Amino acid sequence: MNVDGKPTRTLWLDQDGTGVCILDQTRLPHELVIRILHTADDAAHAIRTMQVRGAPLIGATAAHGLALAMRADPSDDGLAAAHGLLLATRPTAINLRWALDRVRAALAPLAPAEREGAARRLAVEICDEDVAINRGLAAHGLPLLQEAWARKGRRGRVEVLTHCNAGWLATVDWGTALAPVYAAHDAGLPVHVWVDETRPRNQGASLTAWELARHGVPHTLIADNAGGHLMQHGYVDLCIVGTDRTTARGDVANKIGTYLKALAARDNGVPFHVALPSPSLDTSLRDGLQEIPIEQRDPSEVTHISGLLPSGELASVRIAPAGCPAVNHGFDVTPARLITSLITERGVCPASEEGLRALFPERFPAP
């Protein structure tokens, strides 16, 4: 999407094709810093430290990480080591395994000398596919916003609440949950986004608010605690969130706190949609609550917050007593029963095995 009028992606090859350029998302919204990944270690570091994050972008970066690994060591051992290194970076997003397995399967039959080029071509293909998938989410999600607008008698604004960042910064371009929002905005629909700040890492405050502002989409930042109150008072027409992994029956792992918003949406009759690009679908699992691994991150993300000092310097401040114990679960699981629909690149479906099977029959064993 646009950064102050200039179309921008989150990841691209540098001019001589040897490095992979990324926007360092740990510096947003305060600084636009581009970093260049030269090795699989660089890619693993970028994923682990959340310089890149968001399930689709994690997958795309991992694919490029394998390509970088093949330049250094295209042997079978090199391939296995890089696959293992990258897979261990983050546990919850299924796109990571999906992308790594896909690249490894394509490379394994090839002679080592062919692997670097093939890996890079496939990584670029995965990136372009991501953009195409997200355009599909935009196309299939847009009618949900148009219908909300019609239900309001085309008065006021379509009020969307989103959690965390499932915008273009979470993908290569367009985003997942925000793809329909961008499509609506670009089509002239008056859309406004309530942006959950999304503690503890504040991806809403730092990334969603930033990218919406850069593209010119009206929005308002709120504390995560505020969404229920807004829904109780009729200020939210629909919720759209992303997903790090969705099971065969439609249980959705997404950023911690998503479940609370789904409960509030149900209690207030607000539609709750999940934007699900098919690489985030994991049909090997059924019960999301029991089966999806939930990442536990460093407690310091809860006890400390980074931001910009009045002097213009970035700094981390401690907000809890010294030595305060904390836990930091990165994701929660929203059961399918709370989800109005899944928005996929092949259409919108109920959050159920039947719904998913109808759109993605090849992903399910024959009944």
Catalytic residues: 244
228 touching its own copies, by CB under 8 A: yes
Look up residue 223 and give its two tokens. Answer: 């504390």
Closer residue to its own copies (CB): 98 or 210? 210
Options 119-127, 170-178, 193-201, 239-247: segment touching its own copies (CB under 8 A): 193-201
> According to the 3-state scheme, what is the secondary structure of 331-347?
EEEECHHHCCEEEECCE
316 touching its own copies, by CB under 8 A: yes
Q: How far is the CB of 321 from its own copies (least distance, A)?
A: 4
Options 36-44, 132-140, 154-162, 192-200: segment touching its own copies (CB under 8 A): 192-200
Look up residue 217 and give its two tokens. Answer: 């989409």
Pattern of binders to its own copies over 320-339, x per CB under 8 A?
A: xxx-xxxxxx-xxx------
- Half-sphere exposure in the Cβ direction for 33 (13 Å, CA): 13
The DSSP secondary structure of 167-185, one letter per residue, reads: SGGGSSSS-STTHHHHHHH
* Angular region, 222: left φ>0, alpha ψ -120 to 50, beta rest: beta
Residues 102-131 that bind its own copies (CB under 8 A): none
206 touching its own copies, by CB under 8 A: yes
The DSSP secondary structure of 254-315, one letter per residue, reads: EETTHHHHHHHHHHTT--EEEE--GGGEETT---HHHHS---B--THHHHEEEEE-TTS-EE
Pick the binder of its own copies from 80, 308, 354, 361 (CB under 8 A): 308
Pattern of binders to its own copies over 45-84, x per CB under 8 A?
A: ----------------------------------------
At residue 56's C-alpha, the angle toward residues 54 and 57, to 5°, is 65
- Return the closest-CA partner of residue 193 out of 166, 233, 172: 166
Q: How far is the CB of 206 from its own copies (least distance, A)?
A: 6
| Cβ atoms < 10 Å from Cβ of 225 | 12
Closer residue to its own copies (CB): 213 or 359? 213
**What's the rounded Cα separation, in Å, for the pair 121 and 108?**
15
Options 8-16, 34-42, 68-76, 316-324: segment touching its own copies (CB under 8 A): 316-324
Closer residue to its own copies (CB): 75 or 225? 225
306 touching its own copies, by CB under 8 A: yes
Q: How far is the CB of 161 from its own copies (least distance, A)?
A: 12
261 near 196, Cβ under 8 Å? Answer: yes
Q: Are strands 238-241 and 347-349 parallel, antiparallel or unpaired?
A: unpaired
294 touching its own copies, by CB under 8 A: yes
- Residue whose entry in the numeric block shows the structure tokens 């008065």: 155
**What's the rounded Cα separation, in Å, for the pair 43 and 109?**
24
Q: Which run of H or E residues covers position 53?
A: none
Residues contacting its own copies: total by CB under 8 A: 64
Q: How far is the CB of 75 from its own copies (least distance, A)?
A: 42
144 near 188, Cβ under 8 Å? Answer: no
Closer residue to its own copies (CB): 78 or 227? 227
Closer residue to its own copies (CB): 125 or 301? 301
Pattern of binders to its own copies over 251-270, x per CB under 8 A?
A: ----xxx-xxx-xx--x---
Options 6-14, 106-114, 178-186, 220-228: segment touching its own copies (CB under 8 A): 220-228
Interacting residues toward its own copies by CB under 8 A = 29-30, 197-200, 202, 205-206, 209-210, 213, 219-230, 232-233, 255-257, 259-261, 263-264, 267, 289, 294, 299, 302-310, 315-322, 324-329, 331-333
